[in-house]
Amino acid sequence: MSHVAGIVGYRGYSGAELVRILERHPRVTPILLEHREDFSARPSTHRRAPCSPETVRAEGISIVFLATPPDVSMELAPALLDAGARVIDLSGAFRLRTPAAYSTWYNEAHTQPGLLAEAAYGLPEFCRERIPDARLVANPGCYPTAANLAIRPLLEAGVVDRRAGMVCDAKSGVSGAGRKPSLKTSFCEVTGNFSAYSVLNHRHVPEVLMISGLEEREFSFTAQLLPVDRGILETTYFRTPEPMNAADLLAIYTKRYAGETFIRLYDSGHLPDLHAVLHTNYCDIGVTADSSTGRAVVVSVIDNLVKGAAGQAVQNMNLMLGYPEAEGLL
């Protein structure tokens, strides 16, 4: 059975990536949904229509991707759900569990607390059980995706000295900031440069805490802007309570991710880089350790526009529609 999928925000980087992926999906037909008043005549090979409940019903749209800012997602999601579509939201609008948490980290009130409570968090490797039956899925942030895939298996296995904390040094390509022009992301500001931002108050931190189980005092996170167009590399430092080597830690990942299509583990002594994952839905993970000091490092890399956004959204869509999880992604 095939389905029609609507894409709102298809002009942005994540939305355009969704279009690219769905173009090759064998059982989904994309339709571009326009929510702006200045309905554009921009050339496209795909059908376009206004984003409205009427369009959802008339076109038989099964699922809608919202590649939109949080306030727009909160505005659009209720009517689309009422019209019978299921929704995958790529913004941060529905990721956190309470309006108070959203207000704290996003500095604005949440206008749809009921949907916030209903939304399933869409990190399949850890939250797969809720996704197939969900009406609304909150697609994870790019930084938390790479972070949680790297650190949660370690915490589950009890091999992190939580008193020493974990330090995540995260670096992202410029597309992670979105397509809207700004001085901070302009060519002359970024090229040949390297900068940290949102230090100690990055809005993706609560997602890491929510899924990993860490307390905020146990986790230090710094986001940095790389002068490249796409990709995320996160280096997370921690200590083990007992002496462990890289092979010991790798065994934990191997057991936890057995059968996970989109997780690739590197042999002891080898670490991933951005080139390995660009334009793919993979998360590559490498780990190393010094058993004499208890120091350990895990490196995780993803493409922020694919596993960190559009690819993971399609992974969630496949689960919701009953397709093989990797359909259209390999």
Catalytic residues: 142
Six token digits for residue 161: 């000295």
Structure-token match 């995540």, residue found: 168
Question: Phi first, then psi: what are they for 307, rounded to 5°?
Answer: -60, -25
Six token digits for residue 302: 């993803």
Determine what percent of the chain falls in helix, strand and coil, rounding each to the nearest 5.
35, 25, 45
DSSP string, 249-261: HHHHHHHHTTT-T
Please count the other Cβ atoms lying within 10 Å of the Cβ belonging to residue 82: 10
DSSP, collapsed to helix, strand or coil, labels residue 199 as: coil
Distances (CA, A) of 328 to 22, 167, 303, 315, 322: 7, 35, 16, 9, 13
Cα 141 from Cα 211, distance rounded (Å):
12
Cα 240 from Cα 250, distance rounded (Å):
14
Cα 29 from Cα 35, distance rounded (Å):
19
Cα 167 from Cα 177, distance rounded (Å):
22
